[in-house]
Structure formats: structure tokens, C-alpha cells
């Protein structure tokens, strides 16, 4: 089973419903009607509702790099979300590779994969 297949399971549907009810159907960020369930962390379990929030589609796209222009400047979360979008955009140009000499994963520019000797 691929990780994307987890979204098709009954357990995921139950978890989504729980998160939806917990948030009263409202986006955790802006308070508009929400329909997307966003993982804050995957390493704590795919179905762990402690690391899931309900968000609307525009707020969900912030994690893909879209700026939070739909939020009013009075929203106290907006400065942090602008930074989240900036980081997401920066990460799109990077890839993780395992460095066996250091025994850890490192972020490198995607061009490094093309330029590095094999």
C-alpha cells in the first residue's frame, strides 16, 4: 500500500469526520467553512487527530506556497502564514538526499542532483 492509499481507508474517513466535528466545520486559520484536513506532522501517525486541523482550500494552499492574501491584515496569524508560504516556496527548489558520510538526510538544491558527479 502506498501512503496516498491511506486517504481511501475507512479509518481516514472516520478521522476526517472527527476533525471536522472538533472544529465545528470551520477553518482553524480563518474561520471560513473548512473541508480539507491538513496534517501538521506525519511522523506522529497518519490518523492521529492531535496533529490534524480543518482548513479551507485557500488556507490549505498556504502550505503549497500560496501567499495568504485572502486573510485580512487584522488576522494575527497572517505574518506567520506569510513565512510558512515563503518556506514552502523555498523548499520546492530543494530535495532531501541521504549523506552516508554524515549518517543523515540533508536538503540540497535540486540542481545539485544534475550537477553532482555519480
Alpha helices in the chain (DSSP H): 10-22, 57-60, 78-91, 110-115
- What is residue 117's predicted lDDT score, i.e. its pLDDT? 58
For the segment 75-93, what is each residue's pLDDT rounded down to a tens digit? 999 999 999 999 988 888 8
Cell 475507512 appears where? 10
Question: What is the band of 115 on the pLDDT scale with cuts at 50, 70, 90?
Answer: low
- 3-state secondary structure (DSSP) of residue 69: coil
Distance CA 55, CA 35 (A): 6
For the segment 21-47, what is each residue's pLDDT rounded down to a tens digit? 999 999 999 999 999 999 998 888 899
Question: What is the band of 8 on the pLDDT scale with cuts at 50, 70, 90?
Answer: very high
Q: What is the pTM of this model?
A: 0.73
Distance CA 5, CA 88 (A): 24
Amino acid at each position: 500500500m502506498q501512503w496516498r492509499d491511506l486517504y481511501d481507508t475507512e479509518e481516514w474517513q472516520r478521522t476526517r469526520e472527527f476533525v471536522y466535528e472538533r472544529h465545528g466545520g470551520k477553518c482553524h486559520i480563518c474561520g471560513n467553512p473548512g473541508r480539507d484536513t491538513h496534517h501538521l506532522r506525519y511522523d506522529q501517525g497518519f490518523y492521529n487527530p492531535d496533529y490534524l486541523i480543518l482548513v479551507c482550500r485557500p488556507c490549505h494552499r498556504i502550505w503549497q506556497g500560496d501567499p495568504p492574501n485572502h486573510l485580512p491584515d487584522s488576522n494575527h496569524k497572517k505574518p506567520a502564514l506569510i513565512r510558512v508560504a515563503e518556506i514552502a516556496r523555498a523548499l520546492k527548489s530543494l530535495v532531501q538526499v541521504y549523506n552516508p558520510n554524515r549518517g543523515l538526510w540533508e536538503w540540497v538544491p535540486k540542481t545539485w542532483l544534475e550537477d553532482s558527479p555519480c
